[in-house]
């Protein structure tokens, strides 16, 4: 059962329990683990899972693999036998506490945040499956908080113009936000310094905000923009400020793994937004793309509503858990044969996200950067 505050997801669905059992595994589940996700104990029992009371010391001590959404506490990790494998969204970046617990308890661990972004990994890509949900839900939050309709409406009293939405960042969450806002009838603009995403944006019916026309445009490497010049960034900020001054909604999705989120909307930009406009900041837990946003809070700033939208997948726990559990199955299925786990360290998927093996830290560059 997940113990993190506000966590409503579960790492296994009745469907994936069946499939793990078919692979020769014995699946043990704490009672009530899936209740907040809409999965009842009876469904797990019918799928073949053995149900135990939360914190059952024997079950924890016998486990070869622990599937989780967020990392258990160091105390809970200490209940596992040495050599057990922990798999989940472990928040590994500069996580000194996790580093110490893995060493002390002699555990192996796979952090899904570090899964390589290659085509073969798509079915196991938990970050993308959860970002899709966050992008979708962010638009629903914005539409509920906005003082206007999203779609254009022609009524006897007059024509209502569609809402104008600006999406910052065209990654997985951003593109899903675009698609959802378009389905609701909004006019959508997208800001991203990577010209390569323009085609994806326009295929969804949105309008791409072309980067400023300057000689020193940032180049691109591996799908990510290289460092831009100060002049380019200043021109882009002015361009974005002009767009936001006409916007009803801004959806902020820009995040950098292991680093503070880039600040994209400043106090001055907020001052130009109309009262009644809404900003939804998906990066608020990493410092925020928007000034003044706070995690899990809605701030009224001079009439502009700033929504700190962290942990949005937890607000759609049934489908979030359904997708997340399938991500775990897709990752582990190739490593299981007749119920035995065999981690192939030559496999780039395994090597990329295996941060610890039997208590030996393999990714100190992530867990404790600068320690070596």
Contacts of 199 (CB under 8 A, 6+ apart): none
Report the alpha-carbon distance of residue 83 to residue 60 in Å, rounded: 13
The verdict on whether 224 is a catalytic residue reads: yes
The verdict on whether 136 is a catalytic residue reads: no
The verdict on whether 125 is a catalytic residue reads: yes
Let me know: does 11 contact 67? Beta carbons within 8 Å.
yes
Single out the catalytic residue among 26, 82, 224, 260. 224
The verdict on whether 149 is a catalytic residue reads: no
Report the alpha-carbon distance of residue 41 to residue 29 in Å, rounded: 9
Single out the catalytic residue among 9, 70, 108, 125. 125
Contacts of 22 (CB under 8 A, 6+ apart): none
Q: What are the Cα distances from residue 148, in Å, to 39, 179, 356, 370?
A: 37, 19, 51, 49
Which residue has 């939050």 as its token pair?
141
Q: Pairing relation of β-strands 65-70 and 85-89?
A: parallel
- Residues facing residue 153 across a β-bridge: 160
Tokens of 208: 């791409």
Report the alpha-carbon distance of residue 89 to residue 170 in Å, rounded: 23
Report the alpha-carbon distance of residue 359 to residue 107 in Å, rounded: 5
SS3 239: helix
Single out the catalytic residue among 13, 37, 108, 128. 128
Single out the catalytic residue among 50, 73, 122, 297. 122
Alpha-carbon 139 to chain mean position = 15
Beta strands in the chain (DSSP E): 28-30, 50-52, 65-70, 85-89, 108-111, 153-155, 158-160, 164-168, 187-191, 207-209, 220-221, 224-225, 249-252, 278-281, 298-301, 304-308, 336-337, 340-341, 354-357, 360-361
No. of H helices and E strands in the chain? 13, 20
Single out the catalytic residue among 26, 81, 82, 117. 117
Catalytic residue numbers, as ranges = 117, 122, 125, 128, 224
């Amino acid at each position: 059962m997940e113990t993190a505050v506000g966590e409503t997801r579960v790492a296994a669905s009745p469907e994936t329990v069946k499939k793990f059992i078919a692979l020769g595994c014995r699946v043990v589940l704490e009672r009530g683990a899936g209740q907040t996700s809409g999965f009842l104990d009876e469904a797990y029992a019918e799928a073949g899972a053995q149900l135990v009371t939360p914190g059952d010391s024997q079950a924890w001590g016998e486990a070869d693999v622990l599937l989780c959404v967020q990392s258990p506490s160091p105390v809970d990790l200490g209940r596992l036998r040495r050599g057990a494998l922990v798999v989940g969204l472990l928040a590994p970046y500069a996580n000194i506490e996790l580093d110490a617990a893995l060493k002390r308890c002699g555990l192996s661990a796979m952090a899904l945040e570090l899964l390589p972004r290659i085509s073969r990994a798509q079915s196991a890509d938990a970050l993308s499956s959860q970002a899709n949900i966050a992008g979708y839900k962010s638009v629903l939050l914005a539409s509920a908080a906005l003082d206007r309709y999203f779609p254009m409406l022609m009524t006897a009293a007059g024509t209502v113009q569609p809402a104008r939405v600006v999406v910052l960042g065209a990654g997985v969450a951003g593109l899903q936000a675009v698609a959802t806002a378009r389905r609701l009838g909004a006019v959508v603009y997208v800001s991203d310094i990577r010209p390569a995403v323009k085609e994806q944006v326009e295929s969804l019916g949105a309008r791409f905000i072309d980067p400023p026309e300057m000689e020193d445009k940032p180049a691109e490497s591996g799908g990510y923009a290289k460092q831009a010049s100060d002049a380019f960034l200043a021109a882009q900020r002015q361009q974005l400020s002009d767009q936001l001054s006409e916007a009803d909604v801004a959806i902020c999705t820009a995040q950098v793994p292991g680093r503070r989120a880039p600040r994209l909307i400043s106090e001055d930009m907020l001052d130009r937004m109309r009262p009644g406009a809404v900003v939804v900041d998906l990066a608020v837990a990493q410092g925020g793309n928007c000034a003044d946003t706070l995690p899990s809070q809605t701030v009224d700033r001079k009439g502009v509503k700033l929504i700190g939208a962290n942990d949005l997948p937890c607000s759609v726990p049934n489908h979030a858990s359904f997708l997340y559990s399938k991500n775990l199955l897709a990752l582990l299925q190739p490593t299981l044969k007749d119920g035995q786990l065999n981690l192939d360290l030559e496999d780039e998927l395994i090597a990329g996200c295996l941060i610890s093996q039997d208590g030996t830290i393999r990714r100190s560059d992530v867990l404790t950067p600068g320690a070596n």
